[in-house]
Amino acid sequence: MVARHDLTTDPEIQEQLLTVRRGTAFWHRKVHELSDAELDGPTLLSGWTRRHLIAHVGYNARAIARLVLWANTGVETPMYASPEVRDQEIELGATMPARALRHLDDHAAVSLNVEWRDTPADLWSTIVRTAQGREVPLSETVWMRTREVWLHAVDLDNGARFSDIPESVLERLLGDITGMWQKRGTDPGFAIEVLDRPDLGTLGAGAGASSATAVTGTLAAVAAWASGRGASALATGQETEPPRWL
Ligand code: ZN
């Protein structure tokens, strides 16, 4: 018998599943607000139309579902056969009729949700490998998807803003990004102050240094800037260019 509720009893994972479901609903709402003709319009991601982005988000759900399958079966199933296959899939997906594209997006998300729901409690710590080659527990896939649906809803460029994204998601996102800069040594010496979250302290490699490049703004503004989606909402540091993080 198939369970109608999450099999995991871990409150933290349950909370994260709630957040990814909210994000998925938000993403779908923004997609559904677009007419078929508007799908041909540009996104915030250079070179990608909304068709590319919707195909990507749909195929991303399928790719993450392969990791859930991996944990459930013990048979290694990577997200994508190769980066080239991933890119070709998106290019081809973008040419589908609007109805088929929307169906892919909806159906892939529903399937992924069912896979998560039916994953037994003891399998959430199973180690799987992301497309970037990172070894992570299965529970991390919820966060990977959370990031995708919330950020790409903004990228659709039809009204979603960083301030629509839950604070817990923005906070973790900013931690991921500054952590990646630190790991790669690409932070040129930022001292980042999050004005509405002073408890986060000063972030960045320049924290405490007199030569630091100051960047200040709300959590939403700083997260938008750090993820490469514009600096205009920052209070200071608008001229600074954030390093790549993905
Ligand atoms: Zn993406």
Domain boundaries, the chain: 11-160, 167-226
Ligand 1: distance of its center to the CA of 32 in Å? 19
Long-range CB contacts for residues 209-215, cutoff 8 Å, separation at least 24: 213/188, 213/189, 213/237, 213/240, 214/190, 215/190, 215/191, 215/240
Contact yes or no for 192/216 (Cβ under 8 A): yes
pLDDT of residue 4: 79
Ligand 1: distance of its center to the CA of 208 in Å? 34
Backbone phi, then psi, for 215, in 5-degree steps?
A: -130, 120
pLDDT per residue as tens, the chain (246 positions) = 556 799 999 999 999 999 999 999 999 999 999 999 999 999 999 999 999 999 999 999 999 999 999 999 999 999 999 999 999 999 999 999 999 999 999 999 999 999 999 999 999 999 999 998 999 999 999 999 999 999 999 999 999 999 999 999 999 999 999 999 999 999 999 999 999 999 999 999 998 888 899 999 999 999 999 999 999 999 999 999 999 987
Backbone phi, then psi, for 41, in 5-degree steps?
A: -70, 165
Q: The sheet that has 213-217: what strands, in order across it?
A: 202-203, 190-194, 213-217
Ligand 1: distance of its center to the CA of 82 in Å? 15
pLDDT of residue 245: 86
The fold for domain 11-160 equals Four Helix Bundle (Hemerythrin (Met), subunit A) (1.20.120)
Which protein residues have a CB closer than 5 Å to ligand 1 (ion)? 148
In sequence order, the 6+-apart residues with CB closer than 8 A to the CB of 140 are 130
